[in-house]
Amino acid sequence: MTADIGAAIRERFGSRAEISDAFGQVVADVAPEDWVEALAFARSCGFEFFDWLTGVDDPPEAIQVVAHVVNLTGVRHLLVRTRVPRDDPRLPSVTGVFRGADWHERETYEMFGVVFEGHPDLRPLLLPDGFEGHPLRKDFVLAARVAKAWPGAKEPGESGHEPPSRRRMLPPGVPADWAKPAPEPREPAAERPGGPAAGRSGAGDPGAQGEGDG
């Protein structure tokens, strides 16, 4: 029976189960009312290792719940899947079959909104208290995707205010009130003692030369 789990499930559930193959592992799609029984039957066939359980949002009508179990003796994998309506996703808990499904069902509940009836403690596992919505559903709007109006002007001059002047940057460690002192104003060349103008006027004055010779 372990060698052909697909045929065994088909024989057990008849037309209510669809058997397919995905990348070398058997996939069994069952009705929601056969969900717990299908996993219990798989366990009785040697698939005793529970690996994971999660949800897949499949809009517009359904959310798919998937469980992966393994037969460790033959190293064979089995995916058991079912679909529940998106507007009221409910499914019996399989914690009575696989105790390890406890936290997986809690995570699927908070991320996809699937209510696992009969779960011993169906409360949020990862999200904070008061969180609204189910983040892994495709109709969940992330805060980063919400369009918000820009609070300021979109183009220069729309706000009616002059643009701010560029702030002067100082090297690290230099006090903000430090500044290079402004240079003192220079006197015009003609007014400085001994400047070029004075030399030129002395050289052209004969009286000044005579006084120097005497």
Rounded to two decimals, the pTM is 0.65
Q: Is 96 contained in some domain?
A: yes
Q: Is 35 contained in some domain?
A: yes
CATH number at residue 110: 3.30.460.80
Q: What is the pLDDT of residue 175?
A: 72
Q: Is 160 contained in some domain?
A: no
Q: Is 165 contained in some domain?
A: no
What are 119-166's pLDDT values in tens digits? 999 998 999 888 888 999 998 887 655 566 666 666 665 655 565 666
Q: What is the pLDDT of residue 111?
A: 96
Q: Identify the segments of the chain with pLDDT beneath 70.
A: 1-3, 143-168, 170, 173-174, 176, 178-183, 187-214
Q: What is the pLDDT of residue 214?
A: 47
- Total domain count for the chain? 1
Q: What is the pLDDT of residue 130?
A: 86
Q: What is the pLDDT of residue 142?
A: 74
* CA atoms of 207 and 101, how far apart (whole Å): 120
Q: Is 199 contained in some domain?
A: no
Q: How far is CA 173 from CA 97, 176, 177, in A?
A: 68, 9, 12
* CA atoms of 207 and 78, how far apart (whole Å): 124
